[in-house]
Structure formats: C-alpha cells, structure tokens
Structure 1
C-alpha cells in the first residue's frame, strides 16, 4: 500500500484504509467529505483524498506539535521542505529538536512543525516522547536516519500540498470540533474517530485521555444521530460499555510499537451506517474477496 503521510504514528489508521473505502462505497459516500477529529498522521484521510474517494478531507488535532506539522506542510511547504533537505540528521540535531518540542511557546509554527517531523522520523516507533533510533551512542542495529529518506519524504509533502484547497485543518479539542462539524458539513460526510488508546495512551501520546475524557467524547458522538460515523479503540471493556447499544466488531491485528505483538481492537458503528459482513477490517484479502462476490455486485 502506498504511504502518503510523512508521519509515522503509533496506532496508525492506515491498516483500515481499505475497509474505510469499502464503507464509503457501500454507503454511497463517494465524492463526499471525510473527517478525522484525531488526525495524527492522517494516513487514511490522505489515501482517500489522493485516490479520489472523497472530495474533501477535514483533519483536526489538539496537539500543537501535530497541528504545526500539518500547518507547515500545507501553508509553508517550500520552507519546510528546505529544512528537511538542509538539516543534518545527527544526535546533536536530535537534541536541538527535542529542546524545541519541549519549549514550544518559544518557537514559530514552522520550527515546531519541523521539530515534530524530525523527532517522529528519528524516534523509536515515531513516538515524540520516546528515545532516538539507535540510542544516544548509536550502537543499535538501526541508526538515527533509518526512517529519514529525505527525497521520498519531501515528495510526499509536495504531493499533499497540491491538494491544499481540498484539506481543512483545525487545532481544536475533539469534543468542540465534532460539535462544530455536525452543524457545518454536508450529509454525505463520513466521520472516523480514532481517539488515544484507552489502556496504553499515556505511553504513546503526549495528549492522552483519562476515563472521563473518553466518556465525554463518547457522549458527544452518540448524539450524532444523523451522521455516518465509526470509532476505533483498543479492545477494552470500559470502551465497549461506553458505547453499549451500538454495533461493535472486535478484530485482531499486529502491533509494531516496541516489539512486535498481537492485539485486538474494537470498531463501533452508528445505526445509520451500512456495515458489510467483514470479519477483520484489516484483512485486505477478505475485503477484496467481498468486493468480488455476488453479494457486493
């Protein structure tokens, strides 16, 4: 699968991209709008837009670091790409960028955006508060620049910038953002929420949630009765209880954060959304077979 996002992101949504396309097809939402209140790497949003499944995407992230990255990508592209090209990827530079991300109030959006990008590409698993690839002594099997292909990453950013007029960017609390889009976007809109993990969010994200935060967004989402929406989470009892009464699908997947492991997640759907009979939303072969079947045709 083609990677359009320049960011590596823990819990990245790209694994369900084909499934989201199937939902768009089966609910006649093609050429509509697509929303990610927790954009992160925005991998699915970019895949849908660049492959012309939707006409517009709306991405939001309350994290100033992530927002500044997307702002720089969309609105300060030339200077951002120059920074990527000219900056030497080294331990010394990593320490400089780490200082910027810890003192964001002292720096510009471009500086914060680049710092976010640099640390995302040079830290373990792309986690901003993790250590660098290869360690401070650079004695690991992988070195700090292992995920930093300048030419490829600049091409990704330049491609995204070509779609600038079809991308809406916000830096809002997800609860307020969902309430706003409910009153502004057309009917042919799909909203996909992928909040911070319930159990391991504190380990993975700077802006993690406690139980009350998860409950607050659930309460708002459940009021979107006239919208097409789905929510994905780590498979935790507390989450399934927050969304009790809605259809839920549990599926297994491989995690790559830290050491490789298997886990399970849950997707929750609102009543308006038609949901194809797919056992595992990350199984591309199963989705392909469904599309070829007489049921789909």
Structure 2
C-alpha cells in the first residue's frame, strides 16, 4: 500500500452537482479522470452505486471524459431528486427561482420530505433539494442554517444561490439522455455492471465511522462484509472503492491494492481526513 497526493492535483475539478454532501467526492475528479484515460474508458460508462451528490460522475460526463453515467441511490428521496432533474428540469428550475427562503417554507418542505408520496418525484425531489441547500452542512435530518429563529451568523438562504443552481440544472439537463438514474441496492448495481465491458464502477459506500449522522442509509458491519465479498468476487472488473481509513478495510480487502489519500471533509467544520482507496486487479492505477 502506498500514499498518494500528487495525482490528485492535475486538473481543476468542475462543480456541477446541485447537492451539498459532507465528504463529497467531487474532489476526486482529477484522479478519476486520469484513471478513465489510463484504462481507455473515455467512450464508456461510469457507474456510482452509492451516488449521493454524484459530483465526480457529473464532472466526468459534462467535461466529456465518459459517454454515459449511472447514478444509483437507495434513498428514495435522493433518487427522486435525480429522477426529477433529469426528467423535469424546467419545472425544478422554476421552483428554484420562485420558492420562498424562509423557515415557514422550510417546515413545509420538510413535511413533504417526511410524509409526501414517494412516487411524486417532482415534489419529493424538490423538497430533498431544498433541505439539502438550506440545512446545516447539507445534512437532510439536520436543522436550517441560522436555526429556527434565524439568529445565527448565516441565514437560511446562505447556500441557495438561485442563479448558480439553475445553471447547474441547465448543464445537467443538456446531458440527461446520457444519465441513467436507479433506485436499488448498490450491490445489485455492482453485480449488473461488473459484467459489462468498457465500464468503470466507483463505489463510495457509507463509511464505518460517523456514517449514522451523514447518511440515511448507514451500513452495519454485515453490510460492509457483504460489499467486500461482492467486489472481491469481481476483481477482474474495473472498479475502485473509497472508505475511511480504518483497520477493517485492510482486513476485508487484504488481497487488493490499497492507497491512502487526504480529502477535505466538511460537516459542521472543515477538516482534512485520511481515507483509503481500493482497486480491482484489472484496473490500471495512475
């Protein structure tokens, strides 16, 4: 196992995703771009079984590094958001332009998020987006920026720049025909796409530590073990995995190449954390 830092610094990362994610992986765009090119996958498909904010996936697609992307998330609310912006982008854009940025509206959108019909992708997707942009650190089960009484230094609209967000949606809409959005278990996606040529799978599952506060679908140890079994069985496919750097990762992926890297992490405060990347046997690593 080796340490890497320089490979992360080649090209400026594009910021395309409208979602804020603590520990989001858009910063890995330069490294993923290099891996796509080294493995001759620029005409291929890039798959995120645990997509979340899908920052890296969208960056690779919009800049022409890959031909297609697959965004999968088991959380029905996150799925609804991606489904809505790839099929009803004009409606979502209009809602962004006109929505009130108040605590009263926040309460209304939270009610939709918690109690609205799961099949209404537009309403649920927008509520999810609204909370992500107006909650502290983007955590969906958190409270609004500035607090319910708006007495904080920053107010509820601090991360809701309407023009910027509408422009990001416009960019995504231009490429929507090349985006597949799924709502299933990540391992199902891995099994399906690992059989396909010209495909890169990037698995970024819920982490071992602090996952409960960051993800609505956190993993137990049995989930982590099952994922390892799934990926290790398809070591001849092209995939990579990122995790928090804990000893259990080395145990689960003892036969795979691993590399420690640093990433800025922002939930409540910005810190730099060591994480670990795991590679399949057939992947050319740069």
Q: TM-score range by the shorter chain?
A: over 0.9
Question: In the alignment, is residue 78 of structure 1 matched against residue 118 of structure 2?
Answer: no
Partner of 1:269: 279
The equivalent of 1:205 in structure 2 is 215
Structure 2 residue aligned with 1:4, among 5, 16, 19?
16
- SS state of the match for residue 256, structure 1? strand
- Please give the residue correspondences for 1:97-176 in structure 2 after superposition, counting only pairs within 5 Å: 97-105=109-117, 108-176=120-188
Deviation at 1:107, TM superposition (A): 6.7
- RMSD, aligned α-carbons: 1.3
* Cα separation, 2, equivalents of 1:104 and 1:199: 31
Q: Which moved more, 1:106-115 or 1:266-275?
A: 106-115
CA 1:266–1:106 in 2, change beyond 3 Å: closer, same or farther? closer
Cα distance in 2 for partners of 1:107, 1:169 equals 14
Report what 1:293 is aligned to: none
Q: 1:253 Cα deviation (Å)? A: 2.6
Of the three residues 228, 242, 258, the one matched with 1:218 is 228
> Partner of 2:81: helix, strand, or coil?
helix
Partner SS for 1:54: coil
4+ residue stretches of structure 1 with deviation over 6 A? none
Deviations 1:251-291 (A, max 9, x none): 22322211222321000001111212xxxxxxxxxxxxxxx
**1:181 equivalenced with 2:177 (yes/no):** no
Distance in 2 between the 1:226 and 1:9 partners? 31
1:34 aligns with 2:46: yes
Give the number of aligned pairs. 274
How much has 1:106 moved relative to structure 2?
6.5
Partner of residue 93, structure 1: 105
1:279 is aligned to: none
Task: Specify the alignment match of 2:9 in structure 1.
Answer: none
3-state DSSP class of the match of 1:225? coil
**Contact preservation (8 Å) 1:201, 1:208:** yes
Judging changes above 3 Å, is the alpha-carbon distance between structure 1 residues 182 and 274 closer, same or farther for their aligned structure 2 residues? closer
Deviation of the 1:65 alpha carbon: 0.6
1:240 equivalent among 232, 247, 250? 250
Matched, 1:249 2:259: yes
Q: Is the 8 A contact 2:109 2:131 kept in 1?
A: yes
The equivalent residue for 1:260 is 270
Aligned to 2:241: 231
Cα distance between partner residues in 2 of 1:106 and 1:2:
31
Q: The residue matched to 1:146 in structure 2 has which SS?
A: coil
- Once residues 227 and 278 of structure 2 are traced to their aligned partners in structure 1, the CA distance between those partners, rounded to angstroms, is 13
Identify which range, 243-252 or 253-262, moves more after superposition.
253-262
- Match of 2:269, SS? coil
Counterpart contact for 1:31–1:52, Cα < 8 Å: no
* Within-5 A mapping of 1:54-65: 54-65=66-77
* Contact in 2 for aligned 1:100/1:111 (Cα 8 Å): yes
